[in-house]
Amino acid sequence: MSKQVVSTEKAPAAIGPYSQAVVANGFVFSAGQLGVVPQTKQFAGDDVQSQTRQALENLKAILEAAGSSLDKVVKVTVFLADINDFAAMNEVYATYFTENFPARAAVEVANLPLGGRVEIEAVAALD
């Protein structure tokens, strides 16, 4: 198996010993993306909707850097600091995934890095 590390300045840099994404066996495996604006390293806003939008923009940039795209996503995992934010997150999510929806799990977690409201990771096909 060969693996290729993906990195782009259009998404926040990794804040630990991991890659933004890895390409292997025809798939792109992304790291979880917070709603952090790459240029400012600050959250796009305090609410889950602005953070969801930015997390998905970060994910989009990483997938494109890997040679894939949001329409090739096959699996998404959404981590929420508060499951009561699910409907608000889903409202934004539905503007990015409009048909041929990927499989998805959404779970509440005790905490997210940097105090985020949402973190999103994905697996996407290359072709």
Give the pTM.
0.96
Domains in the chain with CATH codes = 3-125 (3.30.1330.40)
Residues 6+ apart with CB under 8 A from 55: 33, 34, 35, 118, 119, 120
Q: Is 48 helix (H, G, I), strand (E, B) or coil?
A: helix
Predicted confidence at residue 127, as pLDDT, reads 77
Segment-wise mean pLDDT, segments of 10 residues, the chain, 127 residues: 94 93 98 97 97 98 98 98 98 97 98 97 95
Predicted confidence at residue 1, as pLDDT, reads 79
Q: Which of 50, 43, 60, 47 is nearest to 96 (CA)?
A: 60
